[in-house]
Structures are given as C-alpha cells and as structure tokens.
Amino acid sequence: MLIKFNYGEKHMNKFKGYLICTDCDGTLTDNEGKVSDANAEAIKYFEEEGGLFTLATGRFPHFANNFKDKFKVNAPIVSLNGAVLYDINAEKMLNSWKMEKERFAKVLRYVNEEWPQIWEIWTSGNIYESVGYKPAEHKYDENSLEEYITKLPDYLYKNLFIQPADVTKKLQEQLKIRFGDKFRFDLSWPEGIEMQSIDSGKGIAIKYLKEHLGKENGNTIHTTIGIGDNENDINMIECSDIGYAVGNAVKELKEKADRITVANTEDAIAKIISQL
C-alpha cells in the first residue's frame, strides 16, 4: 500500500515541540534498505512545520548521509544503539555512554572460551568503523584474542556478536545472567546480539535529547515519538512519550508499544506523521 501524503493547509509550526526518533532497518526503510518517496515527503513536511526528526540506529552517525538525497535529519542522531549522541550537521559529539575495556574483555574471554559457535565479533571503539575478530580463524592461536583486546581503545561504544540463529537466544540468556549488571545485551536480528553499557540505550539518549536539546535552542520538546521494529528498540519505545511499533515488528516490541502502525513496506513514517 502506498500512502499519498496529503499536505492540506499548512500551519506555521504545526509540529513544533515534537521529536521523532526512528529506527532505520525494518522501520524507516523498506526491505531493500530504501526510503520511500511517501516517507521522505512526510519527513520534509514534518520538519517544515517545526518538527524535529532524527534516526535512532545501531549504525554509525554518518550513516544518515545515505539518505541525504531523500531528506536530512534536523536533530542529533542516536547512533550505535544509543551509545553515541551525535550532531552530524555541526560534526559534534553531544554525549556518549561507554564500556570500560577491562570489564568488556571479561565478556569476550567468556564467549571465546565457552561458545565456539560464534562466527564473528565486531567492536566499535570510535564513531567511524568497527574492528572484527573471527574465532574460527584463530582457534589454533591462543594469544590472538588477547592481541585483539590489547589493540582496542580503553573505552568502547558497542560490540556485536554474530552466531547461528538457534544459538542467539541461549547466548543472550547466559550473557544477561553473568554480565547483565554491567552491560545490555539486545537482539537486533536473529543472528545478532548488541552489547553496550548498561546505562546506555536508544531510550536513554532520547530522554537526554528531550531535556537538553530544548534548552539549547530555546524550544521545548513536549512530545518524543520513538518508532522501531526489534528488541533493541524496546528501550526507546518505553522511554518515548509515544512508542510506535511498525506492523512487521517482533512480538516483544509490539507488547511494549503504545501504538502499532503499518509495516515498514507500507510507508509507516508517513502514516504516523499523517495522524499527528
């Protein structure tokens, strides 16, 4: 279904005070990773009428530039699953929530020793790229993991474990039991577990934006709207004033959402904006 977004009569600053934070993959974009014309048109209209629009994604901040021909965000980006809050227009880090390498290393050692099914480990120590470690390629090199850890910076933003889908839930459960007091372990797709500091998350970053962004630009944000599709969006849904699950979202997210809209392939962002 393609939504024809009806602008109707324009009202000056109709959406002033609203902040929309949307997940990207499976929410803003369709199944081919593209933003529909209807979504792009609605976002532009929302911004023209005073609304603030940004991304809340597990990806790096500058991933937003992939959409610059369709639309531009006009608020800081919640990136790396909420571990980093970054203003790409000013090229400025507003806040970050990091993991200490010493504590982080204990998790890596446990996974490497006890979970041989792991395919890949990807660690983000900056806002531009991740470095990877593939256990199977180093199984005969006892020092390889320690060398990997040594090269990492002292503080890290996010880590990703990639493994078979039938292992993911079991691994997540054990990670939460053993290390859940220090770290978050959220699913972003069936084969992926995102690890970050326990005090971080998309929702934490959105709360920070609501409190501080309005003070800085003289405008009050009265309503935050979080939109997502997967488990790593639950924190955002719970912390937003209005939490939306797209129609294709996982059951766990739908159960937490205030509202459920159409699927990502049906112009979900345009649908939500048209109902504000």
Mean of pLDDT values over 26-33: 97
Residue found by looking up tokens 């005073």 in the block: 50
Residue 83: the pLDDT is 98
Mean of pLDDT values over 76-104: 96
Residue 194: the pLDDT is 97
Residue 1: the pLDDT is 43
Distance of alpha carbon 125 from alpha carbon 156, whole angstroms: 4
Task: Tell me whether residue 12 is in a domain.
Answer: no
Task: Tell me whether residue 177 is in a domain.
Answer: yes
pLDDT of 8 > 70? The answer is no
Find the radius of gyration of the CA atoms of the chain.
Answer: 19
Q: Which of 197, 218, 247 is the last residue of a domain?
A: 197
- Cα dist from 77 to 50, 60, 93, 251, 270, whole Å: 17, 9, 10, 26, 20
Same domain? For 192 and 107 the reply is yes
Same domain? For 78 and 133 the reply is no
Q: What's the pTM?
A: 0.93
User: In percent, how much of the chain has pLDDT > 70?
Assistant: 93
Beta strands in 48-191 (DSSP E): 52-55, 77-79, 84-87, 92-96, 99-100, 120-124, 130-133, 155-156, 158-162, 183-189
Task: Tell me whether residue 140 is in a domain.
Answer: yes
Residue 139 token pair: 């199984």
Higher pLDDT, 8 or 271: 271
Task: Tell me whether residue 180 is in a domain.
Answer: yes
Question: pLDDT band at 2, cuts 50/70/90?
Answer: very low
42-76 pLDDT per residue, tens:
999 999 999 999 999 999 999 999 999 999 999 99
Task: Tell me whether residue 1 is in a domain.
Answer: no
User: In percent, how much of the chain has pLDDT > 90?
Assistant: 88
CB 56 within 8 A of CB 205: yes
Mean of pLDDT values over 141-158: 93
Residue 267: the pLDDT is 98
Residue 210, domain extent: 18-96+200-274
pLDDT of 112 > 60? The answer is yes
Question: pLDDT band at 139, cuts 50/70/90?
Answer: confident
Question: What domain count does the chain have?
Answer: 2
Residue 217: the pLDDT is 60
pLDDT of 144 > 50? The answer is yes
Same domain? For 80 and 211 the reply is yes
CB 223 within 8 A of CB 206: no
What is the CB neighbour count within 10 angstroms for residue 106?
Answer: 12
Same domain? For 115 and 180 the reply is yes
Distance of alpha carbon 213 from alpha carbon 224, whole angstroms: 12
